Chains A and B, each alone.
Chain A
Amino acid sequence: MSEVLVGALDELKQITVVKDGVPETIAVFKLPSGVYAISDTCTHEETELSDGDVDEEDETIECMLHGARFSLATGEVRALPATQPVQTYETIVRDGDVYLKV
């Protein structure tokens, strides 16, 4: 496991990391309750989740394509049509910067 710097706390975005030779895009979100990181690919039809709507109260992200919803904390599915959970990543905030554990 290594730590990858994502960016400053106020400039969060997606980041691409390479795992086992395969590039993977991870979306990072800053909510009042904390910083969350999930795989940026919807498990339904592989659209980018980072384009979707975040519900801060429920801590969920809604995919902009069909409306599938995932928990940002656990990755589990909260609304169809997705049926498989999305991968989550641990984040660490240190000195105003956000790091990902991959």
Chain B
Amino acid sequence: MATKPEDLNLGQGYRYGWHDPSTSINVPKKGLTAEVVEEISRSKSEPAWMEKIRLKAYEHFLKRPMPAWGADLGEIDFNDIYYYLKPIQDSVTDFNDLPEDIKRTYVKLGISDAEQQRLIGGVTFQYESESVYHSVREDLSSKGILFTDMDTALREYPDIVKRYFGTVIPPNDNKFAALNTAVWSGGSFIYVPPGVSVDIPLQAYFRINKENMGQFERTLIVVDEGAYVHYVEGCSAPIYASDSLHSAVVEIIVKKGARCRYTTIQNWSNNVYNLVTKRAIAEEDAVMEWVDGNIGSKITMKYPSIYLMGERARGEVLSVAFAGEGQHQDAGGKVVHVASNTSSQIISKSVSAYGGRTGYRGLVRVDPKAEDCKSFVQCDALILDADSRSDTYPYMEIENETAEIGHEATVSKVGEEKLFYLMSRGISETEARGMIVNGFIEPITKELPMEYAVELTRLIQLQMDGAVG
């Protein structure tokens, strides 16, 4: 499964492209069989019901054809991927107990600083297939907040996991959800008790190190009645000539009156296939917000979804995507209004340059019994040069006549007049383009925590400077 080196955005500003020698506790092998699935389950000492779910999902995965729409996944070779690599025996709670090379990775990535500065409420680091480091602020744990990796959650809170696992994204939802359900490893588990508000974000960082590695994290978040949490995840991987696969599943249940915001800044290197299924259920009076930033990866297919199951629930998807040379970002959002008086908003901003390709794919559905629902979608695309491309595929399925549904989309280029105006004020063309792009995505970046907004802006700027240098 190869990407030609000249197709990669090598050395153009992606500063996470290094890799470390690969060490692991298990003997990693390529390819996927039922035995590999069983071995994963065994090495985690999982209960029988989880092994059964994995094996059934594996059967679904084999039978399901590849999707006939979206990006071109024709070059993925499922036999050329490592499905499970355990980097250390047990995860640690003291950062200094990490093996040197892994510790260095996170220092280089600048992650540990944020934690040390108490800017976050808790953090988990995933390296290859497993969580290696985890900590939660004491005051949060004492309120009954559970924040751990998914493997630990299955061991320590099996009842909660069994109750919710696969209820939002069932094993046969799509081919990649089936794959994830079969070989999932790592990911975050969060439970917030009723009425508890987690005032500062919980964070996770995912890192792929080995070449041809597949990362299949599984995240489950349950926000109980009236509670609030903001979860942020970031990711990166080394640049290799051959491809990696990241196929994650995120399930979120936001209960009555609760609120959850899930922010992702995806910055995989340009040889990663990023195929993610993310979905939330919002009950009565609940609010779910997806903030989705897609900068990296070779191909991303990701459409955060919300099912508004309870009255007056609200869902929002804010999506920003940048596709540079050799990249295809196919993103968007999906909202299903099942209950009455629910509302939703999807705002998508995408930028394509240097032959990159962005796509917005979305669905707004109003079920026949859902009265007085409102939804508004705005998807705008900026194409920076003549070789780049933008596609918009919104679907609206409205089966209740009281719904108020609006959708607007505009595809544009950088206006000559705007550019001219800025340059006449002594700003260089590159800077001017950067300012225009920043203005374009501002409605989304203003929703990000400060350091993420800064980082996102910086990353996009670097991508734009890319080949011009």
| A and B in direct contact, judged by CB atoms within 8 A | yes
Write the residues of chain A forming the contact surface with B, with a CB cutoff of 8 angstroms: 53, 62, 64-69, 78-81, 83-84
| Assembly CA distance A66 to B170 (angstroms) | 7
| Assembly CA distance A62 to B53 (angstroms) | 12
| Assembly CA distance A81 to B169 (angstroms) | 7
Q: Is the CB of A83 within 8 A of B336?
A: yes
Q: A81: which B residues are within 8 A, CB to CB?
A: 170, 173
| Assembly CA distance A32 to B403 (angstroms) | 45
| Assembly CA distance A67 to B89 (angstroms) | 34
Q: Is the CB of B168 within 8 A of A66?
A: no
Q: B433: which A residues are within 8 A, CB to CB?
A: none
- Nearest to A44 among chain B residues (CB) is B170
- Nearest to B170 among chain A residues (CB) is A67
Q: Is the C-beta of B80 less than 8 angstroms from some C-beta in chain A?
A: no
Q: B369: which A residues are within 8 A, CB to CB?
A: 84
23 A–B contacts, CB within 8 A, in A order:
A53-B56, A65-B172, A66-B172, A66-B173, A67-B166, A67-B171, A69-B170, A78-B167, A79-B166, A79-B168, A80-B167, A80-B169, A80-B170, A80-B279, A80-B281, A81-B170, A81-B173, A83-B309, A83-B336, A83-B367, A84-B338, A84-B367, A84-B369
| Assembly CA distance A81 to B170 (angstroms) | 8
Knowing that A69-B167, A83-B338, A84-B338 are A-B contacts, what are 12 other residue pairs whose CB atoms are under 8 Å apart, sorted by A's residue number?
A66-B172, A66-B173, A67-B166, A67-B173, A68-B170, A79-B167, A80-B167, A80-B173, A80-B307, A81-B173, A83-B367, A84-B367
- Nearest to B308 among chain A residues (CB) is A83
Q: A69: which B residues are within 8 A, CB to CB?
A: 167, 170
| Assembly CA distance A13 to B315 (angstroms) | 41
| Assembly CA distance A78 to B167 (angstroms) | 6
Q: A53: which B residues are within 8 A, CB to CB?
A: 56
A47 to chain B, nearest CB (A): 11
Q: Inter-chain contact count A-B, CB under 8 Å?
A: 39
| Assembly CA distance A99 to B177 (angstroms) | 40
| Assembly CA distance A84 to B173 (angstroms) | 17
Q: B60: which A residues are within 8 A, CB to CB?
A: 67
Which residues of B134-167 are within 8 A (CB) of A?
Answer: 166-167
- Nearest to B338 among chain A residues (CB) is A83
What 8 pairs between A and B have smallest CB-CB spacing?
A: A67-B170, A79-B167, A83-B338, A67-B172, A67-B171, A79-B170, A66-B172, A80-B168
Q: A78: which B residues are within 8 A, CB to CB?
A: 167
B343 to chain A, nearest CB (A): 17
| Assembly CA distance A53 to B57 (angstroms) | 13
| Assembly CA distance A79 to B172 (angstroms) | 12
- Nearest to B169 among chain A residues (CB) is A80
| Assembly CA distance A67 to B60 (angstroms) | 10
Candidate in A64, A78, A81 with the most chain B CB atoms within 10 angstroms: A81
A65 to chain B, nearest CB (A): 7
B47 to chain A, nearest CB (A): 13
- Nearest to B177 among chain A residues (CB) is A67
| Assembly CA distance A70 to B69 (angstroms) | 30
Q: A80: which B residues are within 8 A, CB to CB?
A: 167-170, 173, 279, 281, 307
A24 to chain B, nearest CB (A): 19
Q: Is the CB of B307 within 8 A of A83?
A: yes
Which residues of B20-72 are within 8 A (CB) of A?
Answer: 56, 60
Q: B169: which A residues are within 8 A, CB to CB?
A: 80
Please, what's the 1-or-0 string for B439-453, where 1 marks a CB less than 8 Å from any CB in chain A?
A: 000000000000000
A33 to chain B, nearest CB (A): 18
- Nearest to B167 among chain A residues (CB) is A79
Q: B336: which A residues are within 8 A, CB to CB?
A: 83
B405 to chain A, nearest CB (A): 18
B82 to chain A, nearest CB (A): 27
Q: A68: which B residues are within 8 A, CB to CB?
A: 170
A81 to chain B, nearest CB (A): 7
Q: A67: which B residues are within 8 A, CB to CB?
A: 60, 166, 170-173
- Nearest to A79 among chain B residues (CB) is B167
| Assembly CA distance A83 to B169 (angstroms) | 13
A14 to chain B, nearest CB (A): 22
Q: B307: which A residues are within 8 A, CB to CB?
A: 80, 83
| Assembly CA distance A12 to B172 (angstroms) | 27
Q: B168: which A residues are within 8 A, CB to CB?
A: 79-80
Which residues of B242-294 are within 8 A (CB) of A?
Answer: 279, 281
